[in-house]
Amino acid sequence: LDKVPFEKLPQITREAFVGFQVLQNVCFNHYSASSNKLFEYIMAHVPVIACDFPEIKRVVEENEVGIATDTHSSQNIAAAVNHLLQHPELYDRYRANTRRAKMIYNWQNEKQKLLNVYNTLDDNVSFIGKIQPQMK
């Protein structure tokens, strides 16, 4: 397969039946963080089969946008895909829920949280003034 230009990824992702967020637990960062790929699937309205690492599982389950499972097992991944294929009403609900989740997990909401973190840093950290919300 040829490399896909970055700007075409959202269009191609929207055509997917399901997105796979199947990180391996090889480092603390994978285990403890959420992943951009998860949010790309949400923005594209694509339900996900995701690893059951704490932050990823929390987003998937709290927003009901897919299935979180132990993705170290190919049988678990296959079972999750088959579950969505056998329960189209569940798949449709997950897909619809991505629209709601998209309104929560987006840059307009997240940028203010980031700015708040920067602005509450200890004064010993050298910044020139306060960070202003000028990012777009």
Question: CA-CA distances (angstroms) from residue 92 to 23, 56, 106?
Answer: 25, 20, 22
Tokens standing for 92? 């449709």
Q: Provide the 10 A C-beta neighbour count for residue 98.
A: 22
pLDDT on residue 117: 84
pLDDT on residue 11: 92
Residue ranges of the chain that CATH labels 3.40.50.2000 = 6-105
Single-letter residue type at 88:
P
CA distance 48 to 65: 6
Q: Which portions of the chain are predicted below pLDDT 50?
A: none
pLDDT on residue 120: 82
CATH number of 6-105: 3.40.50.2000
Single-letter residue type at 79:
A
Question: CA-CA distances (angstroms) from residue 62 to 46, 54, 72, 85, 104?
Answer: 16, 12, 22, 22, 12
